[in-house]
Amino acid sequence: MATKPLEAPDYRNRFNRGLWLNERRRDLRHYFDSRHIVIGAIDIEPFWSKVPYVGLWRVRSLGTPGFDGWYGIAGDVPSDIVGINNFSDRPRDILRYFAAKWRFAAARLKAGEDYPEFRIEFIEDRPKIGAAIEDRAMRLQRWVDEDSLW
């Protein structure tokens, strides 16, 4: 008896969308925890998202005067952060920053060099991981460049 192939979840469904968003928020929490960065709340709803590909959240700071927190990105992209105070509240500009940062990091990693913000266990994996990061950067850049999304 042949088995029916699994269907992809319908992310227009609130339950599936909520599960995906909660998992990405957990990814961001792990990112901060693994770097021993103490944070306040991560917003429940993303600041911007394309579920099930990528989400961008505001993450509150805990009492650092003059510093409001971070924008955190997670999904089918590297989990990463940037300070909120570096940007206006325009998701397109924030995503443009991440795409450029990842392209730069990818070039270094593909050349076998280190890029400290990406933790790579085995040095010999740098070029392969650099290629994957470059792919994600280019995908993100395509969204940034697509005027119809904004």
Q: Where are the alpha helices (DSSP H) in 74-123?
A: 91-110
- Asked whether the predicted pLDDT for residue 104 surpasses 70, the reply is yes
State the pLDDT at residue 119. 81
Cβ contacts of 95 within 8 Å, gap of 6 or more? 48, 56, 73, 140, 143, 144
Q: Distance (Å, rounded) from C-alpha 142 to C-alpha 95?
A: 10
pLDDT digits (tens, 9 = 90+) for 23-72: 999 999 999 999 999 999 999 999 999 999 999 999 999 877 778 899 99
pLDDT, tens only, 115-137: 888 888 889 989 999 999 999 99
Query: 81, 103 in Cβ contact below 8 A?
Result: no
> DSSP assignment, residue 51?
T
Q: What is the pTM of this model?
A: 0.88
With CA atoms as reference, report the closest residue to 74 among 23, 125, 110: 23
**Token match 């443009």: residue?**
96
Average pLDDT, the chain: 91
